[in-house]
Amino acid sequence: MSNEGGVPGQGAQDPQDPPYGQPSPGGRPEQPNEQPNPYGQEPVQPGPQAPDPDPYRQHPQYGQYAPPGYQFQAPVPTGPSVPWAPPSIGESHGFAWRSFGRNAGVWIVMVLLLGVVTIGGFFVANPWFLQTMSEMFDAAASGDQSASLRMNAEIEERATSPMFLLTNGVLGVVASVAGMTLYAGALASTRRQRIGFGDFFGLRNWGGILLLTVIVGVVGAVVGMIPFLGDLLGIVVGFLLVAAPYFVLDKQLNAIEAIGASFKLVTSNLGTGVLGYLVYIGYTFAGACLCGLGLFATFPFAVIFGAHLYRRLQNESIEADQNPTPAY
């Protein structure tokens, strides 16, 4: 039997083919007592089946109950997965050092630029400071107590003048905005293993960034003026607002929403949050004690550590562990 598609029983019948129900020449010989196929087709034999990955397991048939102890094997998902393990300080600590080690050159340059902007801006805005400090050191070296007292009084008078406070308040906002570039780089580190300078400068949500830096600066200044408890309250405020920069940059929230989200995140994860904040300020303080040179390593570590813990406390996956995309 022949037809165009090569499938028995389909298409027009060739005049030279035998009638339906009779075997074709060269076909299977007719068996004794075999009833002819009324449809004129040979039964289709089932094709080869894929081997069972576990041939010794007894799988239930259709319409039957599963045997005792049988466990259904769910399909394994592919692609980035949401982390199932609870967040831990050790996990974030290890990730921060690994990420900094892979991108140490970029981070060191960025911290150096931030230092130039902050320190250089202060001396540009306060040209008298270097001259006064130089005269003060000379007076101390010569043993002139009256000159030293006069210089101290001059510094105190200038430091409390309205112009000094306004100028350095603006400078503090500029330095804080520049510091947000490091938070942007830290968030990028959780998405890719290798980052570049473009990841630091792709800031958006400028309104939220500016308002947040102003609010944090004003609150910090007011709290710092409270006698005796100012330093302690400053630490508490810093703890409650520690995640606000990440929310502004990552979720594009405005300043008020970011402050509320940070407060909710750290208070709902109080134990992990307190330990994480102690690690954060501990490394920053240690870097500052090494004549500031340690900040080239400890400050990047602190912001990467915070970014990783920020994502893990929200059960977000760390794409850098699963998708090592190079920087572009």
DSSP structure string for 183-252: HHHHHHHTT-SS--THHHH----HHHHHHHHHHHHHHHHHHHTSTTTHHHHHHHHHHHTTTHHHHHHHS-
pTM above 0.75, yes or no: no
- pLDDT averaged over every residue in the chain: 79
pLDDT at 280 over 50: yes
Those residues whose C-beta lies under 8 Å from the C-beta of residue 143, and which sit 6 or more positions away, are: none
* pLDDT tens, residue by residue, 233-266: 999 999 999 999 999 999 999 999 999 999 999 9
Give the model's pLDDT for residue 113: 94
| Whole-number Å distance between alpha carbons of 295 and 181 | 16
Those residues whose C-beta lies under 8 Å from the C-beta of residue 219, and which sit 6 or more positions away, are: 237
Mean pLDDT to the nearest integer, 87-108: 94
Between 1-10, 39-48, 223-232, the lowest mean confidence (pLDDT) is in: 1-10
User: Can you tell me which residue has the tokens 């005792």?
Assistant: 68
Give the model's pLDDT for residue 192: 92
pLDDT at 303 over 50: yes
Structure token digits, residue 129: 């400071």
* 8 Å CB contact between 283 and 301: yes
* pLDDT tens, residue by residue, 45-66: 555 555 554 544 555 554 555 5
pLDDT at 14 over 80: no
